[in-house]
Amino acid sequence: MQNRDILVSGGGIAGATLAYWLGRYGFRPTVVERAPAPRTGGHGIDIRGTARQVIERMGLVAQVQNARIRNRGMAWINEKGKPVARMNLDVFGPSGGPVAEWALLRTDLARILYDAIRDDVEYVFDDAITQVRQDEDGVTVTFASGEQRRFDLLVGADGVHSAVRGLTFGPDDHCVRDLNSFISLYSVDWDTDLGGSQLMYTLPGRAGRPGRTAALRPLAEPGRAMAGFFFRDPGLEFDRRDTIAQKHVVARHFGDAGWEVPGLLAKMWDASDFYFDRVEQVHLDTWSTRRTVLVGDAAYCASPMSGIGTSLALVGAYILAGELSRADGDHRTAHAAYESAMRGFTDRAQEFARTSGDNGLLPDSPRQMWLRNQSVRALPYLPRRIAGRGLEPVAHTVVLDDYASPAHR
């Protein structure tokens, strides 16, 4: 097999899944991760459709089930916390709607994946790639630590603002598309019983002010919940390194809100896992250049509000590793096959996020919010094939091949 030494930049969902399958197929993956250790905290994610089969084939179902957030549904509430519309899990089935049965914290899934490979894969923590030089025979990378190493192939699995993509494909401005909204998430101590439901409190747009939503989602750990804030702010610029300034942005947008929002904002200032970002998508004509290839959000982020980003990462990593194995390490053949297999899935996921991702969260008027509530109330009376027609067919776009390692062919 050729091209056995592969450097994976990013130890998140896509990077760890890729390293797992590369190791299974006889490659020698190395993972470099900017964080000094496996991350803690983090926001909730969902595993849907074909991505569940990836977890099953990795033998990790029990670990994922044990870490699950026991969501029973979603309730849209008014300022007094009274439900005005409900969305139960059984309306959609396990993978079809906004409420997924396999829901857990992103860092819990990353930890499960890391534990599955930590004894077999070289991890380099607290470091990052700063330079890349590709030639006909391999890739030479320079790390922030000053070390230089040589690999056969390089994979960028380092997120929306991928350093590898920037070094090999060019600046973000040609491939990152702004969807004109923002998201903020952090965990809080919360003793009030949420009834197993994610609570959504929406303030509709009025007098030129865009709609907003604050949310609370139960976590697996008793007494803990995930707070979420979703809003629009055209023209807002922010420093990605200035967390305090980001918290002030959230406080400014929700300072007049009712329900439990004042208490959630008070807890925000001490949140160590605070997350804030612009809602964006990544669009590229190709995901590979010479000996470098991208996977997960670095290649085809659908947006944090799409509900399908983790599934894209799991399926994409599985297919990329499988195609490299099938091609006996021939990266040109493998990269082309990977893109052919994944392009339809990513296109459908991104289209769904653009057209449906924030319609219910950011209504432009009280009438639009009323229509949303009426639609949600009608769901229990519709056939499941109609009620779940949104994410379910998207999540099942890809039919997974059974890739055999070279030793078993």
Of residues 82 and 408, the one with the higher pLDDT is: 82
pLDDT of residue 149: 98
- Residue 229 pLDDT > 90, yes or no? yes
Output the DSSP codes for 134-146. E-SS-EEEEETTS
Burial group, residue 359, by CB count within 10 angstroms (0-12, 13-18, 19+):
middle
Residue 237's identity, in one-letter code, is E
Residues 6+ apart with CB under 8 A from 84: 76, 77, 78, 373
- Residue 96 pLDDT > 60, yes or no? no
Residue pair 183/230 in contact by the 8 Å Cβ criterion? yes
Number of H helices, E strands in the chain: 14, 18
Q: What is the mean pLDDT of residues 292-303?
A: 96
Q: What is the mean pLDDT of residues 139-150?
A: 97
Render pLDDT for 12-25 as a digit per residue (tens, 0 to 9): 999 999 999 999 99
Q: How far apart, in Å, are the Cα atoms of 48 and each of 98, 180, 311?
A: 11, 26, 6
pTM of the model: 0.89
Helix (H) or strand (E) holding 350: helix 331-356
Model confidence band, residue 41 (pLDDT cutoffs 50, 70, 90): low
Q: What percent of the chain has pLDDT over 70?
A: 90
pLDDT of residue 95: 43
pLDDT of residue 208: 79
pLDDT of residue 387: 47
pLDDT of residue 406: 56
For the beta sheet containing 153-156, the strands, ordered from the edge strand earlier in sequence to the opposite edge, are 122-125, 28-33, 5-9, 153-156, 292-294, 288-289
Residue ranges of domains in the chain, CATH in brackets: 5-70+103-175+281-358 (3.50.50.60)
Render pLDDT for 313-365 as a digit per residue (tens, 0 to 9): 999 999 999 999 999 999 999 999 999 999 999 999 999 888 765 567 889 89
